[in-house]
């Protein structure tokens, strides 16, 4: 009797304590905001600490685990040249395995324990969206997010967050227009990742080829069997297959189509269209399945989009520039577009860091980002400005040839994320000499 | 004196003591360590629930991640759709949701045993997260839900949020552990063990075998639901990518590592789940290996340690500690022989 009475008493007491908390979904009156005026965390006289979350293991690791390797090489190059404004860049990479729960943990680790100055290039939509509010509340600059979701471009709600790659809607518009112009009347099938990649890119594609699309299928990154989807697309009679997929699933799509004897014209979006990474994955997956294939031959004819210089583009000054860094710092890694993706990102951040000046604060780096002055290796301009935090604003269309080279089918075109037209863009690109950071 | 008190009071006093210690510990450590302490908390209750099911009742579940999934989405949906509910109500409902799911799973599982039961629960872990694809508007597809939980009273706003969260998590975990400890010590614990050891003998002794098995599943999955709810509360996210088969398997691995058949084992297992990762990450970083190796080293080391512990201490860390304790307490026989 006595025992049950005390149990009830303690349960009631704790219930009362908890009852004082208010509704769990309500917003408290004044939550913390960005701290202005205080010295910025992660910045000393000689060092600036930045962090990122990357899928070094798990479903997105094939391909994407190399992005931070490329970034690190550029930071090493910059640090060896004396750093930016007298500060060396310390780059902390945390593995989140593409698992949102782990993303939250490692980002809190970076902010609370490593005391990073800024988050640079956090990768993934399902992952990074879970730390968006946290980074905003903590006032941490969240630069060059590695995902094409539209949500990074909302300066009102997330003033600290800036995109990087072309968003899926803009890219979908470029793809859609190209397909409409060049594959008029052909049946089109869509295979998309079942998150923002799919929903956002359809917003763009449907502006041009809504009546051509005969079937839409999605895949889940946790399930590596895409046979049901590819079979359904084959049955629908689609002659053009648009794959809005990460590299692993672009490779699976290629292999699965081969297996079931389906030969559509494949159009792969920039996130999955790195020829070198794709070749490697196709061969690796085939080997794991017990067969030998030639990745190069399987990839011939694939149409892709990109907004960065290609490692296979012969005479691009930026490609040669990054190739030199690659040869010096990470010669053991394959020189791929994915590696360059990380290198361009690091270079762009370093440019912003330089523009922010020696007297560095978090506000100053964000001002430098939104100044509209950032111009660099990309094939199209950034959308950064006062009212836009969008990254690259367009893409070019290319095709893989049998000899492994890439042929440009359509020069870079730019557009907006709404229903504006897709138009050519002709501003002269700056060279590595024009935006020299060190040396 | 403690022996004279009824077990529930002893357990409550112990829980209160633990809570005080933990609150002190959170003051002594930095905000990020507080987050890790809280993480140990929710893993602890998940593994403890599994200990009741697997250790006490002998039913293997490879699908406990599914109950965490249910708990996490319950809290996520309540926070987003019913913002007026306080967090404790959300957590209670998450526990209940996990329990209801466990009741259904248990009803099916009571007819299965051994590898068939393992297979059925595995199917649950693989299949359930796909529900998010079926209802993308409600459950947000594979992107999952993200939200901010408001739980800190205005008067305590000066305390770092991770510290406050650690308190809430451990308060809930310790209350649940008191319930579990009482169940394990009481009549249910005895019937659970009776069913585990010999179903026929148990039923001859008047134990309703099927009902006992379902009850074990219910309690265990309610713990899973609470663990998931606490995870959602702590991290502000519920996404299918977090509730993979790997999670379910690592819960079971943690239980084996810590020691089956004891709630203490669950504690060691939960600590191992959180801190092995941290230590192996540090080791991988220290060794400065090639990227492909250092990225995967933590997982490999975890596997090696698991194998070594199971070989050296088949009863897990708790079994090893108990053996050590017995050896320390009892004088070595040969010495006694010399003395006489």
Q: Which of A255, A273, A306 is the last residue of a domain?
A: A306
Strand ranges in A169-289 using DSSP code E only, listed in sequence order: 188-193, 213-219, 240-244, 265-268
Are residues A274 and A338 in contact, defined by beta-carbon separation less than 8 angstroms? yes
Residues B15-47 have pLDDT tens digits of 999 999 999 999 999 989 999 999 999 999 999
Average pLDDT of the segment spanning B214-240: 94
| Inside any domain, residue B322 | no
Residues of chain A with pLDDT under 70: 1-22, 27-39, 314
pLDDT value for A2: 47
Verify that A331 and A232 share a domain, yes or no: no
Q: Is A235's Cβ below 8 Å from some Cβ in B?
A: no
| Inside any domain, residue B116 | yes
- Among A69, A98, A126, select the one facing B291 at the smallest CB separation: A69
Verify that A112 and A195 share a domain, yes or no: no
- Chain B residues whose CB is inside 8 A of the A22 CB are 86, 150-151, 153
Percent of chain A with pLDDT over 70: 92
| Inside any domain, residue A242 | yes
Q: Is B153's Cβ below 8 Å from some Cβ in A?
A: yes
Verify that A257 and A340 share a domain, yes or no: no
Q: Which of A277, A306, A335 is the last residue of a domain?
A: A306
| Inside any domain, residue A134 | yes
Verify that A278 and A195 share a domain, yes or no: yes
pLDDT value for A1: 43
Q: What is the DSSP letter of A300?
A: T
Taking the mean position of all CA atoms in its chain, how far away is CA B319?
A: 18
Are residues A382 and A391 in contact, defined by beta-carbon separation less than 8 angstroms? yes
> CB–CB of B142 and A126 under 8 A?
yes
Q: Is B31's Cβ below 8 Å from some Cβ in A?
A: yes
More confident residue, A19 or B328: B328
Q: Which of A281, A306, A331 is the last residue of a domain?
A: A306
Residue keyed to tokens 């692993």:
A248
Verify that A152 and A76 share a domain, yes or no: yes
| Inside any domain, residue A32 | no
pLDDT value for B281: 78
- Among B86, B147, B242, select the one facing A22 at the smallest CB separation: B86
**Would you say the C-alpha torsion B74, B79, B82, B88 has a positive or negative sign?**
positive
- Among B12, B35, B240, select the one facing A10 at the smallest CB separation: B12
Average pLDDT of the segment spanning B224-245: 93
- Chain A residues whose CB is inside 8 A of the B142 CB are 126, 193-195, 220-222
User: How distant is the Cα of B193 from the closest Cα of chain A, in angstroms?
Assistant: 25
| Inside any domain, residue A6 | no
Tell whether the model's pLDDT for residue B339 goes beyond 50: no
Verify that A288 and A263 share a domain, yes or no: yes
**The two three-digit tokens of residue A207, written as one number:** 């502006």
> How many domains are there within chain B?
1
Question: Chain A window 75-94: which residues touch B at a Cβ cutoff of 8 Å?
Answer: none
| Inside any domain, residue B20 | yes
Verify that A229 and A340 share a domain, yes or no: no
pLDDT value for A40: 84
Verify that A281 and A267 share a domain, yes or no: yes
pLDDT value for A21: 52
The mean pLDDT value of chain B amounts to 88
| Inside any domain, residue A37 | no
> CB–CB of A130 and B162 under 8 A?
no
What whole-number distance in Å separates Cα of residue B308 and Cα of residue B315?
Answer: 12
User: How distant is the Cα of B222 from the closest Cα of chain A, in angstroms?
Assistant: 18
pLDDT value for A33: 42
More confident residue, A69 or B150: A69
Three-state secondary structure call for residue A54:
strand
pLDDT value for B340: 40
Q: What is the DSSP letter of A161?
A: B
pLDDT value for A359: 92
The CA-atom distances, in angstroms, between A404 and each of A293, A295, A298 are: 15, 10, 11
Verify that A295 and A318 share a domain, yes or no: no
Q: Considering only alpha carbons, which residue of chain B is nearest residue A124?
A: B143
Tell whether the model's pLDDT for residue B337 goes beyond 60: no
pLDDT value for B300: 83
| Inside any domain, residue B173 | yes
Residues A124-138 have pLDDT tens digits of 988 999 999 999 999
More confident residue, B280 or A266: A266
> CB–CB of A24 and B130 under 8 A?
no
Are residues B153 and A21 in contact, defined by beta-carbon separation less than 8 angstroms? yes
Q: In which element (H, E) is residue A304 found?
A: strand A303-306
pLDDT value for B8: 87
Verify that A244 and A255 share a domain, yes or no: yes
For the domain that residue A232 is a member of, what is the CATH number? 3.40.50.2300
**A108 lies in which domain range?**
47-166+312-392
pLDDT value for A28: 58
Are residues A132 and A154 in contact, defined by beta-carbon separation less than 8 angstroms? no
Verify that A189 and A101 share a domain, yes or no: no
> How many domains are there within chain A?
2
**B153 lies in which domain range?**
2-243
| Inside any domain, residue A35 | no
> CB–CB of A3 and B82 under 8 A?
no
> CB–CB of A100 and B237 under 8 A?
yes
| Inside any domain, residue A38 | no
- Chain A residues whose CB is inside 8 A of the B42 CB are none
Tell whether the model's pLDDT for residue B334 goes beyond 60: no
Verify that A284 and A272 share a domain, yes or no: yes
């Amino acid at each position: 009797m006595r025992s049950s009475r005390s149990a009830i008493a303690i349960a009631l007491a704790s219930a009362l304590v908890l009852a004082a908390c208010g509704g769990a979904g309500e917003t408290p009156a004044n939550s913390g905001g960005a701290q202005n005026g205080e010295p910025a965390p992660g910045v000393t006289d000689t060092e600036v600490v930045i962090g990122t979350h990357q899928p070094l293991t798990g479903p997105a690791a094939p391909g994407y685990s190399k992005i931070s390797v490329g970034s690190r090489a550029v930071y090493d190059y910059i640090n060896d040249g004396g750093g930016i404004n007298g500060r060396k860049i310390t780059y902390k990479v945390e593995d989140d395995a593409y698992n949102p729960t782990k993303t939250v943990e490692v980002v809190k680790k970076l902010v609370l324990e490593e005391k990073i100055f800024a988050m640079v290039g956090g990768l993934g939509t399902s992952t990074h969206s879970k730390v968006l509010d946290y980074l905003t509340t903590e006032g941490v600059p969240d630069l060059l997010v590695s995902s094409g979701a539209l949500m990074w471009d909302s300066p009102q709600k997330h003033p600290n967050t800036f995109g990087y790659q072309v968003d899926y809607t803009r890219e979908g518009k470029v793809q859609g227009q190209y397909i409409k112009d060049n594959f008029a009347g052909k049946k089109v099938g869509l295979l998309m990742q079942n998150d923002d990649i799919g929903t956002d890119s359809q917003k763009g594609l449907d502006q041009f080829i809504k009546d051509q699309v005969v079937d839409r299928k999605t895949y889940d990154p946790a399930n590596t069997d895409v046979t049901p989807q590819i079979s359904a697309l084959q049955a629908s009679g689609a002659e053009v297959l648009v794959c809005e997929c990460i590299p692993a699933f672009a490779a699976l799509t290629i292999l699965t189509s081969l297996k079931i004897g389906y030969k559509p014209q494949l159009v792969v979006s920039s996130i999955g269209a790195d020829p070198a990474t794709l070749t490697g994955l196709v061969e690796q997956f085939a080997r794991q399945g017990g067969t030998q294939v030639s990745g190069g031959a399987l990839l011939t004819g694939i149409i892709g989009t990109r907004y960065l210089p290609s490692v296979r583009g012969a005479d691009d000054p930026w490609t040669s520039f990054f190739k030199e860094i690659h040869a010096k710092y990470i010669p053991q890694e394959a020189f791929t577009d994915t590696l360059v993706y990380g290198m361009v990102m690091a270079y762009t951040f370093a440019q912003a860091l330089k523009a922010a000046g020696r007297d560095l604060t978090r506000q100053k780096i964000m001002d430098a980002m939104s100044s509209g002055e950032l111009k660099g290796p990309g094939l199209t301009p950034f959308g950064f400005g006062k009212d836009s935090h969008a990254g690259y604003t367009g893409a070019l269309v290319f095709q893989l040839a049998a000899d492994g080279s890439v042929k440009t089918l359509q020069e870079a075109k730019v557009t907006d994320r709404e229903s504006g037209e897709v138009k050519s863009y002709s501003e002269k690109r700056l060279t590595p000499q024009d935006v020299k950071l060190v040396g | 004196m403690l022996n004279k008190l009824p077990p529930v009071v002893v357990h409550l006093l112990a829980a209160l003591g633990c809570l005080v210690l933990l609150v002190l510990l959170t003051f002594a450590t930095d905000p990020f360590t507080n987050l890790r302490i809280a993480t140990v908390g929710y893993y602890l209750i998940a593994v403890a629930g599994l200990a009741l099911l697997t250790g006490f009742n002998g039913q293997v579940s490879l699908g406990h991640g599914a109950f965490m999934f249910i708990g996490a989405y319950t809290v996520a949906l309540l926070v987003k759709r019913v913002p007026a509910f306080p967090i404790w109500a959300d957590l209670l409902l998450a526990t209940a949701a996990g329990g209801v799911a466990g009741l259904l799973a248990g009803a099916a599982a009571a007819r299965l045993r051994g590898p068939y039961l393992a297979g059925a629960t595995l199917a649950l872990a693989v299949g359930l997260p796909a529900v998010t694809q079926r209802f993308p508007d409600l459950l947000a597809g594979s992107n999952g839900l993200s939200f901010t939980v408001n739980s800190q009273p205005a008067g305590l706003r000066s305390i770092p949020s991770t510290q406050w969260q650690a308190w809430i998590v451990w308060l809930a975990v310790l209350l649940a552990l008191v319930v579990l400890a009482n169940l394990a010590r009481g009549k249910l614990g005895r019937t659970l063990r009776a069913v585990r050891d010999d179903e026929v003998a148990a039923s001859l002794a008047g134990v309703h075998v099927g009902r006992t098995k379902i009850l074990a599943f219910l309690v265990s999955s309610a713990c899973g639901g609470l663990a998931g709810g606490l995870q959602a509360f702590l991290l502000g996210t519920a996404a299918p990518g977090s509730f993979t088969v790997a999670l379910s398997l690592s819960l079971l691995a943690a239980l084996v590592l810590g020691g089956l058949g004891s709630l203490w084992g669950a504690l060691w297992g939960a600590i191992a789940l959180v801190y092995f990762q941290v230590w192996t990450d540090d080791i991988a970083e220290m060794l400065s290996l090639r990227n492909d190796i250092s990225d995967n080293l933590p997982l490999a080391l975890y596997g090696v340690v698991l194998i070594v512990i199971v070989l050296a201490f088949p009863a897990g860390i708790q079994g090893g500690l108990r053996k050590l304790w017995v050896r320390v307490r009892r004088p070595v026989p040969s010495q006694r022989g010399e003395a006489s």
